[in-house]
Structure 1
Amino acid sequence: MIAELRKSPLFNHMTDEDIRNCLKCSQSKVISYEKDEVIFLQQDKPKKLFILIEGSVVVCSDSISGKRNIITTISKTGEVFGEVFLFLDERGYENYAIAADRAEVLEMPKEFLYHNCSNNCGYHTLLISNMLSILAQKAYHLNQKLQIMSSSTLRQKISKLLLQNVDKGGNVILKMKREELADFLNVARPSLSRELMKMQEDGLVKIERNKIKIIDFDEIQNNL
């Protein structure tokens, strides 16, 4: 498990021994979840920080009509989730998390993240510093989603999403399934599929399963 946790930004710049000490001192535990099993519910009081070891997790909210809106998908080993509400005093979650596939999650008690232990361990100080960096990154990514959701048309939403995630080769690897992407953009899946097909027909993109290659960068940017 230590090899997996080395990939987490929470344990940046730590040795294997540092990580082991963190887990022992915090009394963290690895919990297994089956597909669709709930990890936390809306209004639950945050008591733990969650770190994905294996599998994938979706964080969602439901509209009044019951439509699920995917806020984010956690699929990268070592990725942290549930951290924002952990630091909002006496406030319950405004969303819920479920296992999208069978998942293993490291759960660290919140108390360990608030202050150094009596021994003033260097690895504990580093862990708290890493946590602050994670929160800053979270704020940045939420701002990116806000930019997408403020778009007036679906094509604008898709264009912004593509430009935010494109690599140097002009490719965007989709981490979400089509239905999850539709939920993320808050549109119906058929509408998303039709618009992607139109963008391909217009020569803007080329779609290959979970990869979208941008063909016409200028026109994609003109859609913003």
Structure 2
Amino acid sequence: MKKYSDILRKCPLFDGMKDEEIDLITERPGAVEKHCVRGETILAEGDPVRYFGIVLSGGAQIVRIDYYGNRSILTDIAPPQIFGEAFACAGLEAMPVDVVATGDTSVLLIDAAAAQPGAGDSRLLFNLLRIVSKKNLLFHRRAEITSRRTTREKLMTYLMLEAKKNGSRTFTVPYDRQELADYLEVDRSGLSAEIGKLRREGVLECRRSTFTLPDLPRMHGGGEYHL
């Protein structure tokens, strides 16, 4: 793990911890480095909940497949973020989702049982609680998007939240068109058609995964954009 020491120091799980304290966790028995290519499953739905992981390089997505095979992207994970910790903390027996690599990816899988904090690991517990709390906020954000009724409403809610997060009306989203449809839980062809309509109406500009929203004065005579 020495070659990933800089990444591990930046991992929110180890915030405020010394290098030797990090080593005690990442070098415990049950910690396994895994390499995956794009599309490869890191952790599969139905697998026993044994590990949580840290993305060391590349990236991954948390994906849910419903009964009919429809795919939804719940969130993206980039270095040095962690995944699977909520399922381990909840004591689930089986993974309810897939974790899938989005490119050439390396992760550190840590046996949740072997990494149980001891009496002196209060910092680790605090960090874990903070991570789970922040992820709950992200899932609340996604629920705000997917609870909208129409494809247009879902798309514009997502894009306006992204513009606010980036502090710019021009921004790049981390999804291609199919992945964006999966994230919004809409049909890809319907999404493409809606983007085309919005472009013709002057509501947005789009080039691949980069979007530009109009200045406020152009949005309905200077007023708020109404979904």
Report runs of 4+ in structure 1 exceeding 6 Å deviation. Answer: none
* DSSP 3-state at the match of 1:87: helix
Counterpart position of 2:212: 213
Q: 1:213 to 1:6 in 2, by over 3 A?
A: farther
* DSSP 3-state at the match of 2:10: coil
Establish whether residue 71 from structure 1 lines up as the match of residue 74 from structure 2: yes
Q: How far 1:21 sits from its partner (Å)?
A: 3.1
**Separation in 2, partners of 1:32, 1:163:** 35
Q: For the Cα contact (< 8 Å) 2:61–2:76, is it kept in 1?
A: yes
Q: CA RMSD in A?
A: 2.2
Q: For the Cα contact (< 8 Å) 2:176–2:208, is it kept in 1?
A: no
Amino acid in structure 1 at the alignment position of 2:206: I
Aligned counterparts, 1:178-217, within 5 A: 178-217=177-216
Gaps of 5+ in 2: none
Amino acid in structure 1 at the alignment position of 2:118: N
Counterpart position of 1:153: 150
Identity of aligned residues (%): 25
Q: How far 1:78 sits from its partner (Å)?
A: 0.7
Q: For the Cα contact (< 8 Å) 1:39–1:96, is it kept in 2?
A: yes
Aligned counterparts, 1:56-67, within 5 A: 56-67=59-70
* DSSP 3-state at the match of 2:23: helix
* DSSP 3-state at the match of 2:93: coil
Q: How many residues are aligned here?
A: 218
Counterpart position of 1:170: 169
Q: For the Cα contact (< 8 Å) 1:33–1:39, is it kept in 2?
A: yes
Establish whether residue 14 from structure 1 lines up as the match of residue 17 from structure 2: yes
**Separation in 1, partners of 2:113, 2:126:** 15
Q: How far 1:113 sits from its partner (Å)?
A: 4.8
**Separation in 1, partners of 2:24, 2:18:** 10
Q: For the Cα contact (< 8 Å) 1:155–1:223, is it kept in 2?
A: no
Gaps of 5+ in 1: none
Give the structure-1-normalised TM-score: 0.87
**Separation in 2, partners of 1:171, 1:13:** 35
Comparing 108-117 and 124-133, the one that deviates more: 108-117
Amino acid in structure 2 at the alignment position of 1:213: T
Q: For the Cα contact (< 8 Å) 1:207–1:213, is it kept in 2?
A: yes
Counterpart position of 1:144: 141
Q: For the Cα contact (< 8 Å) 1:200–1:206, is it kept in 2?
A: yes
* DSSP 3-state at the match of 1:6: helix
